[in-house]
Structure 1
Amino acid sequence: MCVKEGQRSTRQGRATYGGSRSADPRQTTYVLIGLNVLLFLAFLATGGAGGALYRALVLIPTGIPVSNGDGGVTVARGVADGAWWQLLTSAFAQTGVLHIALNMLSLYFLGPALEAVVGRARFLAIYLASALTGSLAVLLLSSPYSVTLGASGAIFGLLGGILVTARKAGGDIRPLATWGVLMLVYPLVVGGRSISWQGHLGGLIGGLLLTAAVAYAPRGRFRSWFQWGAVAGVVVLTLVGVALRALALS
């Protein structure tokens, strides 16, 4: 029965949970890695962490004063000041070779595995929406004057997605679950301020919810409607949460 179902999905070009099967599920991950690397290089070319591009694209809950390099002070805009694009651009921003290397290595291993079972469009939806839920968690749980960046929120969303699909398939999720818990707890235990546990937590919750909606959607002609409706619902609720937080910080 399982073999027949797998053959039927392959003939119809459908992934396990209804999405179009990717001819090569690694390609989307390669594109995401390429975007992260390009922005990393752009940061290096425009002054690094002190550059205007960096201040414009990282996640800042509310405006913070920064030196303009001429002895004066300017204000770096944040989400509460209307810089809503930071909710997503910060997920493609990395600083430091070790930072981008670790994040891209995690993306390289997790991305294709999830896309292979949910299809490209659903994979991208989970990735980007998890970045949004990670940003919301940062806005709610971090200092209003913090600066956060990195792909780890979206990557934790992929981790949540793989946990859901592996659990549904009857796989052993204990190794991945243990690793995820350790990565969440580590910055709290060692007091690592450079690691955003808030973004990790928000991304993980987003990935769990989004992938559960995809994987457990009822079969039938309205399966895609249910899946995309659930994704849209998570995104809308996230943006409402961002808007309310932004108003509180204004």
Structure 2
Amino acid sequence: MHCYRHPDVETGIRCARCEKPICPECMVSAAVGFQCPDCVRTGSGTGHAPDANRPRTIAGGRVRADGRFVTKILIAVNLGLFIAAQVVGERFVDRLVMIGYAYNPVLGEVVGVADGEWYRLFTSAFLHQEAMHFVFNMVGLWVIGGIVEPELGRMRYAALCLLSGLSGSALVYLISPANQASLGASGMVYGLIGAWVVLARWRRHDMGPVMLFVAISLVFTFARPGVSWEAHVGGLVAGALVTYGLVHAPRARRELVQYAVCGLILLIDLGLVLSRTAALT
């Protein structure tokens, strides 16, 4: 690409607001990334600027001062459920954990998604029982979420996290034994890893360190016993697909395409859940 103000200067940076290519001479630091002089001039000093003139993320969301607002909420929800699991114990965990179809001796009843408890697909993505599992996932959510959330904007980032967690649970439900329990925010965290890969490529960053991190994460996924690799892979793939649709949607039909991509992932998850339910029942 060549700078829109200096056609003879090559650049790999775009304005975070209008996405025009800009060179180092034209870059103006913003809350997220850089803006071009035109966007700074039209948007600066106007607390009531028209919505079209407000700074936007690369996915079309509003640029916010707090780049971890949604991430903090997600961590707070995880923390609340973790504390409840420690205080209440097994009975609380058994009500929310991801399980397909099984008789639970603690509750004395048949439980699972196939028995109509679809909420488990979501609640299990926020539930932790072991301290190290909780800490590991929250560190990943904080670090990688701090990279992804400012790039997408709050609403799109929230949709990414929820769809990643749901997709991880859906793949667990589809592949794992019906009576095997699964819990944790790993699907969500791996969804953020998939999003980070897409964003790094879009920003033309050096992909070597990024792909090395992904490779190491997958090695740990498959090398450690007791890890729900289905949740990791499901979240990773969903996160990458959702983010690709969010950042590559054409500006003329951006929101329509973004809604369609998120809806498509949701329909795929629904299809997986329905097919597995039919097989189990």
What's the TM-score once normalised by structure 1's chain length? 0.90
Higher share of residues assigned helix: 1
Q: Which residue of 1 aligns with 2:102?
A: 63
| CA deviation after TM superposition for structure 1 residue 9, in Å | 6.1
CA distance 1:25–1:187, shift in 2 (3 Å): closer
Query: Which residue of 2 is the match for residue 39 of structure 1?
Result: 81
For residues 187 and 231 of structure 1, do their structure 2 counterparts lie closer, same or farther at Cα, with a shift above 3 Å needed?
closer
Which residue matches 1:145?
Answer: 179
Q: 1:9 to 1:249 in 2, by over 3 A?
A: farther
Structure 2: runs of 5 or more not aligned: 4-21, 29-33, 44-53
1:116 aligns with 150
Q: Please tell me whether residue 27 in structure 1 is matched to residue 58 in structure 2.
A: no
Out of 238, 251, 257, the position equivalent to 1:219 is 251
Asked whether the 8 Å contact 2:171–2:272 carries over to 1, the reply is no
Aligned 1:219-238 pairs, distance under 5 A: 219-220=251-252, 222-238=253-269
Q: 1:61 to 1:164 in 2, by over 3 A?
A: same
**How many Å apart are 1:126 and its aligned residue?**
0.5
Q: What is the count of residue pairs matched by the alignment?
A: 239
Does structure 1 residue 200 correspond to structure 2 residue 232? Answer: yes
Tell me the residue number matched to 2:241: 209
SS of 1:17's partner is coil
CA contact (8 A) 1:9 1:15 kept: no
How far apart, CA to CA, are the structure 2 residues paired with 1:9 and 1:36? 38
Structure 1: how far apart are the matches of 2:218 and 2:120? Answer: 23
Bigger Rg over Cα: 2
Partner of 2:160: 126
Q: For 1:75, give the aligned amino acid.
A: E
Deviation at 1:22, TM superposition (A): 2.3
Render the CA deviation track for 1:3-61: whole Å, top value 9, x for unaligned.
388246673221122112222111211111111000001111112xx22x211111001
Q: Which runs of 4+ in 1 moved over 6 A?
A: none
State the alpha-carbon separation in 1 of the partners of residues 269 and 184 from structure 2.
Answer: 19
Distance change (3 Å), C-alpha of 1:9 and 1:18:
farther
More relative contact order, 1 or 2 (CA 8 Å, 6+ apart): 1
Which one-letter code corresponds to 1:17 in the other structure? Answer: A
CA contact (8 A) 1:210 1:230 kept: yes
Q: Which amino acid aligns with 2:228?
A: S
Report the Cα offset of residue 243 of structure 1.
1.2
Distance 1:97 1:6 in 2: 42
What SS does structure 2 have at the residue aligned with 1:204?
Answer: helix
What corresponds to 1:242 in structure 2? 273
Alpha-carbon shift at residue 187 of structure 1 (Å):
4.2
Residues 1:92 and 2:158 are matched in the alignment: no
Query: Take 2:258 and 2:221, find their aligned partners in 1: how far apart are those partners?
Result: 34
Contact 2:221-2:232 within 8 A present in 1 as well = no
SS in structure 1 opposite 2:101? coil
Sequence identity (%): 33
Q: TM-score normalised to the size of structure 2?
A: 0.80
Structure 1, residues 169-207: CA drift from partner, whole Å, max 9, x if none? Answer: 1112332322222222334334x11x1111000000000
Distance 1:232 1:151 in 2: 22
Amino acid at match of 1:6: Q
Instruction: Supply the distance in 2 between the matched residues of 1:173 and 1:86 (Cα, whole angstroms).
Output: 36
Q: Structure 1 residue 229: deviation in Å?
A: 1.4
